[in-house]
Chains A and B, each alone.
Chain A
């Protein structure tokens, strides 16, 4: 039995618990024979760290750990819902806590790529089942009966023949001494009581009364607030600081040069530290910082896109090829070739970036909206040369993430500042900081070319020109291909198209770029699914029937059948304004049909969207529906409302007055269907996004004959 001092972190997590807390979950098998006991009744601090997913105290309280970030996508509910199923407890009996960063214990905690469920569901099911079996063994031993004559239900073990019952709380100490079974039988989906049910989220009640704690809501005694002036051209170095007026502002405590880690480049800023955020903002208004911007290339949106268009015409770095595209293209009866353009975008989470840090000589602790606590732990450990166990990274609820909060800049900056001022501090980015400093979704230009023979695709080539998110570290290899260039494309096309080549041409630019919900699929999907629609039209075929002939696998045919059925695709009239697109993203397939009509006042109205999601094994259909609804709205924004442009090497759009978001009156009716099958779990938070925009523009083509190949566009002026 291991005992360690009870840290404040554990105290926060466990406060309210009484009695002995047993930790039954285990990630590394070698630990599994020894369960940890935390005794909170002793005042001498004798206790251990929670190191796994499932804890039960002797009074029966069940605590489940969410090792991933909760940014709206529902991990707080879904991780617990999986554990609870095999553990045989009701969701209303459990308390859910966030893990801190610790990949040795939890495996990857990077909440990106829609990976939480698909990456951990099998392990979570086994953890739940293994804990249940240990509790059953403990009861059987106590009753001196065969464990197979007992079963677990509703947080108690029952002996069938005698009806005897023991609660998990009564069994937990004995259970902790049992050897976890090496093999556990998992339920068949048909036996699920909790999984696949649209259960209400456990975080909803605290999100309707202001009690959920987001990063900006976190407070420490004596904590100061800071706001940071950063180079608007991203790479500028501080040349001169004039803080005379700033230091006169009531409440301002200090002006400090700070650094942030942007893909391992230390970018500079000047922090104004004050006793309130408002005072810090007032101090910043009168701060004068001169930037040395020597060597930063001049750029603006028009130049960037001109370069990308040229690059898309030229040579590419091939990623995936089959047969001989050039030869097959040359021999094709019909040749089709188009360019597609997608904009730079800001993530614009509703909660602006922020982080609270308290750095002392022997410990770093941070709190914030953090998508990748394990990455941040390693990053801070390396920067400050602090052992990993002295770097504690706590996740609050995230007010949106979308990829932006899986990044090291804002966390390092806060820790750096706390160390400099020797005090706990919270840095809050203003909306303008959040929107102009990046990283952004990279802008892209695609050139797609195809040959058609007898109405079938005989050759296909796509070239993607734009910044490669993987080439931003110092010394990055810029000659390597971008293996994300096929993201979004349905896998069967690679079998059914005889000759193809996919490749990219990486743009160099000082603009930092990063994952944005559904990442490359968010832009690839528009190019590829628009292009297939153009090919269907060139071939004189129905857009869905055209796609169907390349997607012969059963799983895809079922999805198309469902999409046809729910949208009334076959009953539609010619040029009535229907469009379709199907994409694959993070192991899930999503098809969407959009119906548009003309507004009497001019422009286009979106009447309805039907979405069919095939994410294989799934947890909670209502969360899936919500994620697809939200993905559609986010896609609608990037397609028709907002973009980040650059002028004089700086981002132009600074707040929601110019970076215009979709609003309630612009949202169509959305119907979401979830496929039921025996496939492996796929992603849920992102895959609903890529098909929406091409389905919309294909619908507009169907209605008006006009192709939209450049985003964003205005629905009012189509």
Chain B
């Protein structure tokens, strides 16, 4: 056991954990933010996707020791009020069914949009094919990413 400081959604949390504990379990069970989900434990499904310094990362396969003192963003930190363009687009296109994988999908999509403001279908394939949705919301995810891109562009041009 060791002491770590995790900066999650711009807030510091000091936790005692086995350094090998995956970041996923530290976030869910020690910090208590349950929006990030456990799906497979082997980085195959993407339900646990969070941002580490702005990059999408599978938190089930990253030891907590590797995430200490870095900037972590979870679904809870994307916006205060569902105002992030990806959240807005997900609502507009009615993407979620069961919703369990959507935290990961949204975090991956948000990272994509920030890197490529107007992603092509190929960009979407590349960024999103690591994530599984058993409900099969994929066609709506694709549509919502394009909607989010146009919402972001509109937002940017209004500023």
Contact = CB atoms under 8 A, between A and B. Distances in A.
A657 B42 contact: yes
Contacts of A667: 136, 138-139, 142
A490 B150 CA distance: 44
The dominant DSSP class at the A interface is: loop
A627 B29 CA distance: 33
Contacts, number: 179
B34 interface: yes
B3 interface: no
A355 B139 CA distance: 31
B37 A204 contact: no
A276 B30 contact: yes
B149 interface: no
A205 interface: yes
Nearest to B26: A278
Contacts of B90: 204, 208
A72 B98 contact: yes
A656 interface: yes
A630 interface: yes
Interface string A62-75: 00000000111110
User: Which residue among A208, A250, A400, A662 has the maximum number of chain B CB atoms within 10 Å of its CB?
Assistant: A208
B36 interface: yes
B133 A626 contact: no
B70 interface: no
A451 to B, nearest CB: 39
Interface in A143-191: none
Given A208-B87, A398-B98, A622-B94, A632 B136 contact: yes
Interface string A370-412: 0000000000000000000000000001111110000000000
Select the residue from B97, B102, B125, B142 with max chain A CB neighbours within 10 A.
B97
Interface in B34-52: 34-42, 44-45, 47
Nearest to A663: B129
A629 B140 contact: yes
A428 interface: yes
A267 to B, nearest CB: 23
Interface residues of A, number: 63
Interface residues of B, number: 59
Nearest to B38: A216
Interface string B79-96: 100100001001100111
Interface in B59-90: 74-76, 78-79, 82, 87, 90
Question: Dominant SS at the B interface?
Answer: loop
Nearest to B86: A208
A200 B41 contact: no
B37 A656 contact: no
Contacts of B76: 209-210
Interface in A615-647: 622, 626-627, 629-634
A241 B30 CA distance: 30
B40 A431 contact: yes
A631 B136 contact: yes
A291 B133 CA distance: 35
B111 interface: no
Given A350-B132, A630-B135, A207 B99 contact: yes
Contacts of A216: 34, 37-38
A214 B34 CA distance: 9
**Which A-B residue pairs are the 7 nearest by beta carbons?**
A210-B35, A633-B136, A399-B100, A207-B99, A72-B98, A72-B97, A630-B136
11 contacts: A203-B96, A210-B75, A350-B37, A350-B134, A351-B37, A397-B99, A626-B97, A634-B136, A655-B42, A663-B131, A664-B125
Given A208-B90, A282-B18, A629-B136, 19 more contacts: A200-B94, A204-B94, A208-B91, A209-B79, A209-B82, A350-B45, A351-B37, A351-B100, A352-B38, A402-B134, A431-B41, A629-B139, A630-B135, A655-B41, A655-B44, A661-B132, A663-B130, A667-B139, A670-B139
Interface of B: 1, 18, 21-22, 25, 28-30, 32-42, 44-45, 47, 74-76, 78-79, 82, 87, 90-91, 94-103, 106, 124-125, 128-142
